[in-house]
């Protein structure tokens, strides 16, 4: 069950949100001040899927709570605000909020916006499970593509993809040629290094077509690793 933290000092509004979200199947925690919200967010046993955050709070203001959340990650935050000018709305979003809802609000709008943010979160998490990254390089196992700073490496072969996948899975590790060969070709290493060396050379050439940055480092006498 997805857990939502409701941070709102108005008891009636907080309880209204808690009741409506609970009916939709969410688990809710309630905080009535910024100080209480910060304590709940710092408790390891609580793992929230989303935060509904009022800005005008006793104790620690909502802006400071939002800043604290953003220091730790990308937890979706929908701000509840009485501010309705364009400049104020832009400020809320540029401060790190994912969305905002102007008071007074319709509860159906809140539920809809919560669903949208949670869906975006799930899509992002699903995508991250299928990608590996190092510096500006992103390897996508779903699309079988490797890109650097948005530029796709041309004509990556199955073995080249597997070599990069192994290196990106363990960015600080030095891999022997034997380990890389057996992973990429899925067959025993017989002591012949030319095939692997050619593939490493080809990867480097394809990387140079999109960036001057070095990504693969030769560790003489051992093998290869990602270039720090």
pLDDT digits (tens, 9 = 90+) for 72-125: 888 999 999 887 777 777 888 888 899 999 999 999 999 999 999 999 888 788
Could you tell me the pLDDT band of residue 45, with boundaries at 50, 70 and 90? low
Mean pLDDT computed over every residue of the chain: 92
pLDDT at 111: 96
- Stretch (H or E) spanning 122: helix 107-129
Q: For the purposes of burial, counting CB atoms within 10 Å of the CB of 100, is it exposed (0-12), middle (13-18) or buried (19 or more)?
A: buried
Q: How far apart are CA 55 and CA 53, in angstroms?
A: 6
pLDDT at 1: 84
Domains in the chain (CATH in brackets) are 3-129 (3.40.50.2300), 131-226 (1.10.10.10)
pLDDT at 143: 92
- pLDDT tens, position by position, 143-201: 999 999 999 999 999 999 999 999 999 899 999 999 999 999 988 888 888 899 999 99
pLDDT at 122: 86
Q: How far apart are CA 191 and CA 194, in angstroms?
A: 9
- Stretch (H or E) spanning 51: strand 50-54
pLDDT at 43: 83
Parallel/antiparallel/unpaired status of strands 223-226 and 175-176: antiparallel
pLDDT at 209: 95
Q: Which of 11-20, 35-44, 152-161, 201-210 has the lowest mean pLDDT?
A: 35-44
Strand partners, 176: 223
**pLDDT top residue among 142 and 139:** 139
Q: How far apart are CA 204 and CA 2, in angstroms?
A: 44
Closest CA to 52 of 20, 23, 25: 20
SS3 at position 172: coil
Structure tokens given for 152: 């796709």
Residue 55: pLDDT over 80: yes
Structure tokens given for 176: 């022997």
Could you tell me the pLDDT band of residue 44, with boundaries at 50, 70 and 90? low
């Amino acid at each position: 069950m997805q857990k939502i933290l409701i941070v709102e000092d108005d008891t009636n509004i907080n309880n209204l949100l808690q009741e409506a979200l609970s009916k939709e199947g969410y688990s809710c925690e309630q905080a009535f001040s910024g100080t209480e919200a910060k304590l709940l967010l710092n408790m390891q046993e609580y793992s929230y899927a989303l935060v509904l955050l009022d800005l005008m709070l006793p104790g620690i203001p909502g802006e400071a709570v939002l800043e604290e959340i953003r220091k730790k990650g990308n937890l979706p935050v929908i701000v509840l605000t009485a501010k309705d000018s364009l400049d104020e709305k832009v400020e809320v979003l540029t401060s790190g909020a994912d969305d905002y809802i102007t008071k007074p609000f319709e509860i159906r709008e809140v539920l809809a916006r919560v669903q949208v943010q949670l869906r975006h979160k799930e899509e992002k998490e699903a995508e991250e499970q299928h990608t590996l990254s190092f510096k500006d390089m992103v390897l996508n196992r779903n699309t079988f593509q490797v890109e650097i700073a948005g530029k796709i490496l041309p004509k990556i072969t199955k073995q080249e993809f597997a070599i990069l996948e192994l290196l990106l899975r363990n960015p600080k590790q030095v891999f022997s040629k034997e380990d890389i060969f057996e992973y990429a070709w899925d067959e025993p290493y017989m002591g012949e290094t030319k095939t692997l060396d050619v593939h490493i050379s080809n990867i480097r050439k394809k990387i140079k077509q999109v960036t001057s940055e070095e990504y693969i480092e030769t560790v003489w006498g051992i093998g290869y690793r990602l270039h720090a």
